[in-house]
Amino acid sequence: MNENNNNAVTCPPFRGLGGVGFRVNAHLHTPYSFSAFESIPQALDMAVAENVKVVGINDFYATEGYAEWDKECAKRNLYPLFNIEFISLNKEDQANGIRVNDPNNPGRTYLSGKGLAYPLILKDPYLSQLNKVKAESNKHVEKMCGKLNEILASIEAPFAISFEEVKQTLTKGSIRERHLAKALRMNVSELFADEAVQAEFYQKVFGGKALKSNVSDVAAVENEIRGNLLKAGGAAFVPESPEAFLDMEDVCKIIIAAGGIPTYPFLADFGNNEFTDFEADKEKTLEILKQRGFASIEFIPTRNTAEVLEDYTNFFWDNGFVVTFGTEHNTPAMEPLEVFVQKNKPLSPRMLEINYQSACVVAAHQHLVKQGLRGYIDENGLADFAKRDEYILLGEKLIKARIL
């Protein structure tokens, strides 16, 4: 698969275990949080070029992109899934030093909501909680912007980063630290035409540490800015306040109130065949997730080896879970929309089939909840495990009606 839209290869529908299915990417960030894409139409044009027919918007704390996602999907005969992502905190895991799906911060837990109702049905107190945590996240990035400007002033840089300008020109209202990295890179590129001068400037702002990447590699430079300045240990890093994280249970309540399915995102074998404390024993993880009310998980398979992805996916699917895959695209790097495992290896027919059938469940769920009916989970988050096949059939009818 080529990595740009102009030369993308169109992949045909696949023939899996249950017949012909469609390719799915159930986790995509857009400019409504931070994204490799400049716009939603760009993302969806890539989906068309790569024959990815079911696409899920999955922004941090944001649902503002749903209307544009729905409209642009309709233009292209794509089936939209309406999702959201949170960073939550499990205080018990934190107290016990258990790394969940953040390998560096015990207790911190990324969660997704799949298949939210659109138009949005979320009301107070849950809507206020969502807006508050989004505002706290923006305040946190604003503090880092202030520290970044202190560093720039200390080296007598000919510019400063305007937080309001970043907010107005680079975001749709939800501001991430990656936006600061992008703004810094853009300022350096605009002010210093010579690449050697740019590299020299980065060495100064990094406190004497040389830039490893070529300055023309935009994604790599922004990643170095983020790693050297904005992440833990960096000179512009600011620890998040407790208000920046909701408790895991509260996040699940918000997702359910919005009509969605609480979903646990697996890291699995993130680099060098390592696992977090929480995920290393899949049988134990299954039992804990069930106890916590989860019936849905997801993977970003580019993190994983094929063997581990197959092992974990089959295990959870066979135990009744919904299992979806996506690519995120929440870094500056532009990668294919078709889902691959590590080293650009294609998914097996069974993985394609499980991803598709799980997307059918999500499609059926959001369709029913939109009408005020019970979806795959009820108002308490309890899943209708015994009827998963019925949701697959309904979801497939809905998807085919939209895209064929």
Sorted by where each begins, the domain ranges of the chain are 20-121+258-403, 131-230
Q: In the structure encoding, which two tokens stand for residue 139, read together?
A: 């305040």
For residue 185, give the H/E element and its range. Answer: helix 177-191
SS3 label, residue 130: helix
Give 78-104 pLDDT, tens digit per residue: 999 999 999 999 999 999 999 999 998
Peptide bond into 265 cis (omega under 30): no
Check if the beta carbon of residue 279 is closer than 8 Å to that of residue 268.
yes
How many angstroms separate the CA atoms of 276 and 288, rounded? 14
Give 180-231 pLDDT, tens digit per residue: 999 999 999 999 999 999 999 999 999 999 999 999 999 999 999 999 999 9
pLDDT for residue 343 is more than 90? no
Neighbours of 335 (CB within 10 A): 18
Domain 20-121+258-403, second-level architecture: Alpha-Beta Barrel (3.20)
How many angstroms separate the CA atoms of 374 and 351, rounded? 28
Residue 11: what pLDDT? 56
Rounded to an integer, the average pLDDT of 235-243 is 87
Give 356-393 pLDDT, tens digit per residue: 999 999 999 999 999 999 999 999 999 989 999 999 99
Neighbours of 109 (CB within 10 A): 26
DSSP per-residue letters across 291-349: HTT--EEEE-GGGS-HHHHHHHHHHHHHTT-EEEE--B--SS----SS-EEGGGEEPPH
Give 29-55 pLDDT, tens digit per residue: 999 999 999 999 999 999 999 999 999
pTM across the whole model = 0.91
